[in-house]
DNA sequence: CGCATGTATCACCATTCGGTGACATTGCAA
DNA sequence: TTGCAATGTCACCGAATGGTGATACATGCG
């Protein structure tokens, strides 16, 4: 009974396979349990391997987070992209961005958890993550903008930052199942949110096709 | 040398004094280090007493958080209040609310950390905190509103939730020293933020004195 | 064959955490 | 004075954390 029937040590899937497995487990752990539960032990458990491999292949948690960050910008851009006609105005562009960002955050737990992480526990670790998320947004805008421009006399970056923050906040609260500022985020509340987005965007940027 | 010169045990400041000391230490710990570092040991260390007293006087962390929550609504309402003329329009009311909320969150680390806590790690513990924060906002609005009402045809609760969320998000990012959505939150960025708030509010609610 | 290199795991370390029981001291009250 | 409840501290527990050798196994190369 003591003889090693099936070898438990030694290479089985190889470095490349195991690295990918660890990376997937890290994403899943972070997406499911948030950054507070995100550690070497938890990831190793989820990956079904020894934590030593995380140090060997990624140089610790830092490297693992950096690896997640490298694919994050594309994940955001892809998550925002849907096949439909290009926006006819700057207002329509921003409205589409906000609506899809809301949907993306509600659906993609990883991106949502990362957003929450940046806010609650900013650290050198989260800086590249924040940059990657921002880059993903900007990439989508660059892809879709065409030659649309914001109306003159309005500080579009500041206005957009505010709106993006609002959407992000509501999406985080929705995922938490908590009402926010008196707004309950059930399906009906979601519809109201989208209508409010439209009202705000067209209120500042105008409904005309500029 | 073994005789107890100055007694280290036994009552010194009494239950009331010690409870207050613990409560203060809890607020400071949460404000300084955030919810991730907020635990029985950390609070007891900061209060300079044994953690057993936290269990005795508050019934554990839960009760301590609840005690913090009880004073939170008033803290928010007071933090928003400043002596100045009542708003002349619904738009001015909301604009004042948003500007002051931004300032409050930037200055009051405790309120800010609690807001971040609700987002990053929602739990039964944070529910009363979220409710208290929301109640503080609503109390201020009730005090200031007079008989101003939102323009018809606009879902004011949803719009306001979005704007409040945006302000909150920017304030959290500012405290973290991180740019948000391309907006750098130095003094100049803060000025731009306030201008963007005004533009958005008057865009949806109109500049007229309704 | 023999041996080095890469792969994967186990065992262990010090530290911290939340939580509890036992004990010393004080002050009030009978 | 005696007794007792309240106050405050200490010591300990099991569990979990991040981190580091040492070891077993597999493979390829000479």
How do residues A113-122 score in pLDDT, each as one tens digit? 999 999 999 9
> Is residue A12 very low, low, confident or very high in pLDDT (cuts 50, 70, 90)?
confident
Strand C closer than 7 Å to the CB of B180?
A: no
pLDDT at A210 over 90: no
What are A49-86's pLDDT values in tens digits?
A: 999 999 999 999 999 999 999 999 999 999 999 998 99
In chain A, whose CA is at the least distance from the CA of B122? A176
Which pLDDT does position B12 carry in this prediction? 81
- Decide if B120 and A122 are in contact by the 8 Å CB cutoff: no
Nucleotides of D under 7 A from a protein CB: 6-11, 16-27
Interatomic CA–C1' length for residue A22 and nucleotide D24, angstroms: 22
Chain A residues whose CB is inside 8 A of the B169 CB are: 119, 164-166, 168-169
For B71, what's the count of Cα atoms within 13 Å in the CB-facing half-sphere? 9
- Decide if B165 and A168 are in contact by the 8 Å CB cutoff: yes
C-alpha separations of A26 from A20, A101, A162 in Å: 10, 23, 31
Specify which residues A183 forms β-bridges with. A180
Question: Taking residues B12-17, what's their average pLDDT?
Answer: 90
> Is residue A9 very low, low, confident or very high in pLDDT (cuts 50, 70, 90)?
low
**CA of A120 to nearest chain B CA: how many angstroms apart?**
5
Task: Give the closest residue to A80 by CA, choosing from A59, A92, A68, A98.
Answer: A98
Tokens of B17: 């004094």
Chain A residues whose CB is inside 8 A of the B195 CB are: 155, 158
Interatomic CA–C1' length for residue A10 and nucleotide C1, angstroms: 22
Which pLDDT does position B177 carry in this prediction? 92
Q: Where are the beta strands (DSSP E) in A47-159?
A: none
Task: Give the closest residue to A101 by CA, choosing from A43, A183, A50, A169.
Answer: A169
Tokens 């280290």, residue?
B8
> Is residue A11 very low, low, confident or very high in pLDDT (cuts 50, 70, 90)?
confident
pLDDT at B9 over 70: no
Question: Taking residues A153-157, what's their average pLDDT?
Answer: 97
pLDDT at B1 over 80: no
Task: Give the closest residue to B117 by CA, choosing from B127, B108, B107, B103.
Answer: B127
pLDDT at A107 over 60: yes
CA B198/CA B183 separation, integer angstroms? 17
Handedness of CA A72, A120, B106, A159 (dihedral sign): positive
In degrees and rounded to multiples of 5, residue B84 shows phi and psi of -165, 170
Strand C closer than 7 Å to the CB of A12?
A: yes
Which pLDDT does position B84 carry in this prediction? 86
- Decide if B199 and A166 are in contact by the 8 Å CB cutoff: no
CA A160/CA A197 separation, integer angstroms? 11
Mean pLDDT of chain B: 94
Q: Where are the beta strands (DSSP E) in B39-174?
A: none
CA B197/CA B95 separation, integer angstroms? 7
Chain B residues whose CB is inside 8 A of the A182 CB are: 134, 138, 157, 161
Which pLDDT does position A10 carry in this prediction? 64
- Decide if B162 and A159 are in contact by the 8 Å CB cutoff: no
CB contact set of A1 (below 8 Å; sequence gap of 6+)? none
Which pLDDT does position A162 carry in this prediction? 98
What are B153-165's pLDDT values in tens digits?
A: 999 999 999 999 9
What SS3 state is found at A183? strand
Is the separation of the CB atoms in A136 and A80 below 8 Å? yes
What SS3 state is found at A180? strand
Which pLDDT does position A13 carry in this prediction? 86
In degrees and rounded to multiples of 5, residue A180 shows phi and psi of -130, 125
- Decide if A199 and B204 are in contact by the 8 Å CB cutoff: yes
Which pLDDT does position B209 carry in this prediction? 43
- Decide if A180 and B165 are in contact by the 8 Å CB cutoff: yes
Which pLDDT does position A148 carry in this prediction? 97
Q: Is B73 on the interface with A (CB under 8 A)?
A: no
pLDDT at B30 over 90: yes
Footprint of strand D on the protein (CB under 7 A): A 4, 7-11, 37, 39-42, 51-52, 55, 60-61; B 8-15, 17-18, 49-50, 52-53
- CB contacts under 8 A, B 7-66 vs A, are 34-36
pLDDT at A3 over 60: no
Specify which residues A180 forms β-bridges with. A183
- CB contacts under 8 A, A 112-131 vs B, are 116-122, 127, 130
* DSSP calls for A36-68: GG-SHHHHHHHHTS-THHHHHHHSSHHHHHHHH
What are B33-92's pLDDT values in tens digits?
A: 999 999 999 999 999 999 999 999 999 999 999 999 999 999 999 999 999 899 999 999
Is the separation of the CB atoms in B130 and A172 below 8 Å? no
Which pLDDT does position A84 carry in this prediction? 86
Chain B residues whose CB is inside 8 A of the A155 CB are: 192, 195-196, 199
Point out the nucleotide closest to B47 (alpha carbon to C1′).
Answer: D8
C-alpha separations of A2 from A5, A7, A10, A11, A94 in Å: 8, 12, 18, 21, 66
Which pLDDT does position A207 carry in this prediction? 72
Which pLDDT does position A8 carry in this prediction? 65
pLDDT at A2 over 50: no
Which pLDDT does position A7 carry in this prediction? 58
Question: Taking residues A19-29, what's their average pLDDT?
Answer: 98
Mean pLDDT of chain A: 93
Strand C closer than 7 Å to the CB of A49?
A: yes
Is the separation of the CB atoms in B203 and A204 below 8 Å? yes
Q: Which of A134, A155, A165 sits opposite B165 (nearest CB)?
A: A165
Which pLDDT does position B71 carry in this prediction? 98
Residue that wins the pLDDT comparison between A29 and B210: A29
CA B59/CA A143 separation, integer angstroms? 56
Question: Taking residues A140-149, what's their average pLDDT?
Answer: 96
């Amino acid at each position: 009974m003591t003889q090693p029937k099936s070898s438990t040590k030694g290479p089985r899937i190889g470095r490349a396979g195991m690295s990918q497995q660890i990376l997937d487990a890290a994403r899943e752990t972070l997406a499911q349990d948030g950054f507070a539960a995100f550690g070497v032990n938890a990831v190793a458990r989820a990956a079904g391997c020894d934590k030593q491999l995380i140090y060997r292949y990624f140089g610790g948690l830092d490297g693992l987070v950096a690896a997640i960050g490298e694919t994050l910008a594309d994940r955001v851009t892809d998550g925002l992209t849907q096949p439909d006609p290009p926006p006819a105005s700057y207002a329509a562009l921003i409205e589409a961005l906000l609506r899809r960002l809301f949907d993306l955050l509600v659906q993609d737990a990883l991106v949502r958890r990362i957003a929450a992480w940046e806010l609650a526990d900013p650290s050198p670790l989260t800086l590249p993550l924040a940059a990657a998320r921002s880059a993903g947004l900007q990439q989508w805008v660059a892809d879709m903008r065409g030659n649309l421009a914001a109306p003159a006399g309005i500080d579009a970056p500041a206005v957009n930052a505010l709106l993006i923050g609002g959407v992000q906040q509501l999406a985080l609260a929705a995922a938490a199942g908590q009402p926010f500022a008196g707004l309950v985020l059930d399906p009906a509340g979601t519809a109201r949110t989208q209508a409010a987005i439209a009202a705000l965007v067209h209120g500042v940027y105008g409904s005309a096709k500029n």
